[in-house]
Structure 1
Amino acid sequence: MSLYAELHRHLGGSVVPRVLWRYFHRSQSDLAQRFPEYPEFEEFYTRPRKTLDEYLELHTLVENVQSAKTLPYFIYRLIRGAYIFENLAYLELRYTPYLRTPDHLPQTERIDQMAQIVEIVGQASQLSEYPIVTSQILCMHSRLPYAVNRAIVELSAQNRTYVCGIDLAGGDAYYAERLDEFTELYAYARSLGLNTTGHVYETTDGSYPELLPYLMRIGHGIQIPLRYPELLPELAQQNQCLEVCPTTYLKTGTLEDIRQLKLVFDRCFEAGVDIAICTDNAGLHNVRLPFEYENLLTYDVIGFKELQACQDAAFKHAFAWPHRQRPASILTEVLREDEKVSEPAQSVVN
């Protein structure tokens, strides 16, 4: 049995369409009246969008219902599905805690409530019947004020039990006018010893070389091998890993065909840059991690040797995986020990 690591999954986009549709109907939401039947809702929720901005609007649909009260409901179903259907041994969930607090409260009160959200997500993720190693990445947001983003960095440093790193999300086209601010926040995070990743080089609007020195992993990053391959040797030298989410680029209009990713993988392998294959928004795409693997193989983007290298890279670059080996190696050693114990004792010839 293969066990996998997922390094790039958003809490907002992780809710599968049927679970979300059932929640809307149980809570008598306006969306229940708009979509009385499930197939219409699934088509609306999972269809491709023209731009990243249009795609990100769907996150607000889920963020508005993921509150302190409802988060355990969604997370239980998320972890259950990840364990049963995806064979995940390790999962990093990323989200912006501020966006799970009541939006009618003053900013200072919402900042104060973020710690409770982190605690709820952390506790809800610990399910004995579905033993997955989980951790959280807290996302700064390109449309949130500096004070909120700084508080997110500080909360991450204060809650290392549940938080393994920080991210920057919200649409990469909006970084430019605040680039100095985000550079400062990343430098602050590194000074606190935090692990870092960030949504950069996802689209043609997201090229920010100024942020690269502060990132241990790169959220997406596909435009580097596609448009700036001269940067790859430095990424390899710095041991930076790309978090590539194949279905996302088709859903956001960033790429027209999944086969365009072949150049991404080929150039990264040639330069010695690791890639972890991820889902990004498994629920929003209605595509789980093993299907991402299968699609890449089906369209000859990668072969089985490259797939295994990417699976190894995911555990290698995981911020909170507590073992030196990936699960397959650990299981192999356990089985070998069991075989030694079960071997019949050799008879002694006098």
Structure 2
Amino acid sequence: MSLYAELHRHLGGSVVPRILWRYFQRNRPDLTQPFADYAAFEQFYTQPRKTLAEYLELHTLVESVQTQEALPYFIYRLLRGAYVFENLAYLELRYTPYLRTPDYLPQTERIDRMTEIVEIVGRASQQSEYPIMARQILCMHSRLPYEVNRAIVELAAQYPDYVCAVDMAGGDAQYGERLEEFVQLYGYARELGLNTTGHLYETPQGCYPELLPYLMRIGHGIQIPLQYPHLLPEIAARGQCLEVCPTTYLKTGTLDSLQQLRPVFDRCFDAGVDIAICTDNAGLHNVRLPFEYETLLTYDIIGFDELQRCQEVAFRHAFAWPHDHQPRSLLTGLLQEQDSVEIGVGH
């Protein structure tokens, strides 16, 4: 049995269509009214979008119902599916806590409420029934004010048992006019001892080398090998890892074909740059992590040796994985011990 690590999954896009539809039926029937039936909703929810900006609008649909009261419901089902269907041993779940607070409150009260959100998600993620090690990545947001983003960084530092890193989400096209501000925020995060990742070099509009030195991992980063391969040696020297989410690039219109990912993997492997394969928005895409693996193999983008390398890389770059090895090594040791015991009993 293989066990996997998922390093890039959004809480807002992690809810599979069937779970979301049932929640709407029971709690928000008004949200089902635009759709004739479940099939119509699923088609709307999972269809490709023309741009990343259009794609991100779908997050607002889920964020609006991921309230304090509803978060345990969604997280329990998320972890159940991740354990039963994906064989996940480790999951980093990212989201913007501010966007789970009531939007009718003033900004200062919403900032204060973020603490409750982190605690609710943290407690709900500790599931003995489904033994997955789950940690939070708190996302700053490119459309939120500086004061909110700084509060998110400070909140992450206050909860080391629940939060393993900070991120920047919300669409990379927004970075340019506030780049100095975001550089400062990432610098502040590093000063506080926080791990960092960030949505960067996902699209041709999101290429900002000024942010690279502040990141320990790079969310997506596919435009580096595609358009700026001269940056790969310094990425390798820093030990940075790309979080590549194959299905996303078709859903957002960033790539026309998965075949365009072949040079991403080839150039990164040649340069010694690590890649972790991730899902990004498993529910929104209606996919599971093993499906991403199988798709890359089917399209001959990587081979089994490269796949195994990427799976190992995911555990090595996991911000909170407490072991030196991935679970396969631990299971192998347990099986060897069991064999030794059985042999001893037999004698």
Same fold at TM > 0.5: yes
CA distance in 1, matches of 2:346, 2:178: 73
Q: What residue is the counterpart of 2:73 in the other structure?
A: 73
Whole-Å separation in 2 of the counterparts to 1:175 and 1:298: 36
Per-residue CA deviation, residues 222-276 of structure 1 (Å, 9 max, x unaligned), is 0000000000011111100000000000000000000110000000000000000
The correspondence of residues 219-230 of structure 1 with structure 2, limited to 5 A, is 219-230=219-230
Deviation of 1:339 after TM superposition, in Å, equals 1.1
**1:88-137 Cα deviation digits (max 9, x unpaired):** 00000000000000000000000000010000001011111100000000
Letter in 2 for 1:147: E
For structure 1, which runs of at least 5 residues remain unmatched after alignment? none
Aligned to 2:297: 297
- Equivalent in the alignment of 2:114: 114
Matches of residues 48-87 of structure 1 in structure 2 within 5 Å?
48-87=48-87
Specify the alignment match of 1:170 in structure 2.
Answer: 170
Q: CA deviation at 1:33?
A: 1.4
How many positions carry a matched residue from both structures? Answer: 347
SS in 1 for 2:32: helix
Residues 1:312 and 2:312 are matched in the alignment: yes
Letter matched to residue 89 of structure 2: A
C-alpha separation in 2, matches of 1:334 and 1:239? 31
| Counterpart residue number, 2:339 | 339
Residue 219 of structure 1 aligns with an amino acid whose one-letter code is: G
What is the CA RMSD across the aligned residues, in angstroms? Answer: 0.9
How far apart, CA to CA, are the structure 2 residues paired with 1:21 and 1:106? 30
Residue in 2 that maps onto 1:217:
217
Return the alpha-carbon distance in structure 2 between the equivalents of residues 268 and 314 of structure 1: 15
Offset, 1:332: 0.2
For 1:346 and 1:130, locate their aligned partners in 2 and report how far apart those are by CA, in whole Å.
34
Question: Distance in 2 between the 1:312 and 1:193 partners?
Answer: 25
Corresponding residue for 1:133? Answer: 133
Counterparts of residues 233-248 of structure 1 (less than 5 Å): 233-248=233-248
CA distance in 1, matches of 2:83, 2:22: 21
Deviations 1:140-189 (A, max 9, x none): 00000000000000000011110000000100000000000000000000
Other-structure match for 2:195:
195
Q: Which amino acid aligns with 1:180?
A: E
**Corresponding position of 1:90:** 90
Q: TM-score, normalised by structure 2?
A: 0.99
1:36 Cα deviation from its structure 2 partner:
4.0
Q: What is the CA distance between 1:346 and its match in structure 2? A: 9.1
- In structure 2, give the amino acid aligned to 1:296: L
251 and 346 in structure 1: CA distance in 2 versus 1, 3 angstrom threshold? closer
Work out the CA distance in 2 between the residues paired with 1:36 and 1:18: 15
CA–CA distance in structure 2, aligned partners of residues 142 and 32 of structure 1: 30
Code of the residue aligned with 1:12 in structure 2: it is G
Indicate yes or no: 2:274 matched with 1:274.
Answer: yes
What is the alpha-carbon distance in structure 2 between the residues aligned to residue 325 and residue 271 of structure 1? Answer: 24
**Aligned equivalents of 2:27, 2:39: Cα separation in 1:** 19
- Equivalent residue for 1:12? 12
Q: Which residue of 1 aligns with 2:47?
A: 47
SS at structure 2 position matched to 1:344: helix
Using the alignment, how far apart are the partners of 1:67 and 1:191 within structure 2?
31
Cα deviation, residue 47, structure 1: 0.2
Instruction: Tell me the CA shift for residue 345 of structure 1.
Output: 6.7
CA distance in 2, matches of 1:346, 1:205: 66
1:293 positional shift: 0.2
Taking the aligned partners of 1:344 and 1:248, their CA distance within structure 2 comes to 52
CA deviation digits over 1:27-74, x for unaligned, max 9?
A: 143221112411000000000000000000000000000010100010
Distance 1:20 1:221 in 2: 30
- Tell me how far apart the structure 1 counterparts of residues 126 and 304 of structure 2 sit (CA, whole Å): 32
The aligned amino acid for 1:99 is L
What residue in structure 2 maps to residue 27 of structure 1? 27
User: AA paired with 1:119?
Assistant: E
CA distance in 2, matches of 1:256, 1:220: 16
Q: Provide the C-alpha distance between the structure 2 equivalents of 1:161 and 1:113, rounded to a whole number of angstroms.
A: 19
Shift of 1:193: 0.4
Counterpart Cα distance in 1 of 2:337 and 2:48: 49
